[in-house]
Chains A and B, each alone.
Chain A
Amino acid sequence: MDKRDVIVCRCSDLTLADLEALFNTGYKTFEELKRIARIGMGPCQGTTCGPIVRSAIHRRFKEPIERIPLHRARPFNIGIKLGAIKEAADDES
């Protein structure tokens, strides 16, 4: 299997080969991977890539799967224009 043909994160176009290269550099948690590669920060917000990354970490570092945390979810889970938030704030005040 060519790991360059296996997409892990389709939002940021990251392959299994990219992910393993990051493992080799020392990144081994979802939070770290998110900061360095934007994984989990696209439209899927980790719902598609999360389980795949979790099992990749499990296979690579032999960590029990139930102990591998994903990232901390924060608002917003979809893109919102700043103008729309400003408009709402003006209405509320």
Chain B
Amino acid sequence: MGTEEAVVIGAGPAGLFAAYELLLAGADVTLIDRAAQAGGQLVKQTHKFFGSKEHYASIRGIDIRHRLEHALEKNGDGRLRTLYSTTVAGFYADGALACVKAERYYRLHPEVVVVATGASERTVAFAGNDLPGVYAAGAVQTLMNEQGIRPGNRALMVGSGNIGLIVAYQLMQAGIQVERVVEAADEIGGYQVHASKLRRLGVPIETKTTIKRAFGTNQVEGAEIWRLDAKGEGIAGSEERLTVDTVCLAVGLSPLVELLSQLSVDTRFIPEFGGVAPVLDETYMTSRPGVFACGDVANVEEASTAMVEGRLAGIHAAGYLNRQIPRRKEKIQALETSLRTLRSGPASEHVRKGLRKVGEHA
């Protein structure tokens, strides 16, 4: 018997919904996040979501977070314990979690664990990549949207996925001139609607192009971009110099599988998800019984799908604890249909491909 019934690691979109379903099923839930507040990436998302009402369309990420927290409080019934500013620093073979808050260290022994640790931002190797002024897109969002600080005056955005496009637009909104968006691939990675918004503001987006180097004495004073050939190698002579003080990298995410790797659960390298992801069965359970995973740590995707996956993982984790859920089967079916709908578009082709690979292995 564990000392905790259910522990959810990560209070982002996936973790919050997993906790919500576990609470609805009557379980005692401990929700842990290393940030001082719940929400994960929702906290910095000042843009409105797309899709249908069911998936919080036209609501801003920060407001979704408030709604979720409210729902947890309402359904928690005194059974929710939140441990914020707390890092899970270790996941041991005997199932114990090592937690750290400030200088205090303690262990938890949960019966089930839902790992919803999200993803980390990837970076890219180029000369001058350690100069102050080179940021990951998430850091720029934290500075601007959470702390109200302008990262610079003129920016180069590297990467044209949805994060790159949205953050480039937010930079423009904050009065920072985005000189260029460059994309190494043949096509723009994100939604057309985001790309069009940038183009209307006069921001050029160039494909088959990437950063060659950033330069400057004590900080970024400029950047050189160059065109890429069919093999992805830079073409000598195609260099162009831009006067920028900020280089923003939005080159993808990798699942944060550290804790699951410590536990030695089965994982697999999935290029579509930007790295190693855990192998899951149809109940979102890893190869270790009682340990579930959902959201970006399972497959790098969007907040909307992470929320649905979180609910499913929460329901299955409650089932593992033998908690009874009214109309369980119908509920699961409806959520699975909803996931399929969210993933049906052409932009989700890579996700479908990645998920097939995870499934092949399972």
Residues of chain A having any CB pair with chain B under 8 Å: 1-2, 5-8, 10, 16, 45, 47-48, 50-52, 55-56, 65-67, 70, 72-78, 80-81, 84-85, 87-88, 91-92
Contact = CB atoms under 8 A, between A and B. Distances in A.
Interface string B230-257: 0000000000000000000000001011
What band does the interface of chain B fall in when counting residues whose beta carbon is under 8 Å from A? 35 or more
B167 to A, nearest CB: 19
B323 interface: no
B41 to A, nearest CB: 16
Contacts of A45: 258
B100 interface: yes
Contacts of B90: 75-77
Nearest to A53: B125
Nearest to B100: A80
Contact of A52 (B125, B258, B274, B276): B125
Contacts of A78: 87, 89, 100
28 contacts: A2-B127, A6-B126, A6-B129, A7-B129, A47-B256, A48-B120, A50-B275, A51-B122, A51-B275, A52-B125, A55-B125, A56-B125, A65-B271, A67-B269, A73-B257, A73-B259, A75-B92, A77-B258, A80-B98, A80-B105, A84-B100, A84-B104, A85-B105, A87-B104, A88-B104, A88-B107, A91-B106, A92-B107
A64 to B, nearest CB: 9
Contact of B89 (A16, A51, A76, A91): A76
Given A47-B258, A75-B98, A84 B129 contact: no
Contacts of B100: 76, 78, 80, 84
Central interface residue in A45, A48, A67, A72, by most chain B CB within 10 Å: A48
Interface in B244-287: 254, 256-259, 261-262, 269, 271, 274-276
Q: Which 4 A-B pairs have the closest CB atoms?
A: A75-B90, A73-B261, A5-B127, A84-B105
B158 to A, nearest CB: 14
Contacts of B126: 1, 6
Nearest to B96: A75
Contact of A87 (B105, B124, B254, B269): B105
Contacts of B106: 88, 91
Contacts of A5: 127-128, 213
Contacts of A67: 269
A76 B130 CA distance: 26
A75 B105 CA distance: 13
B107 to A, nearest CB: 7
Contacts of A56: 125
Contacts of B128: 5
Interface string B110-137: 0000000000101111111110000000
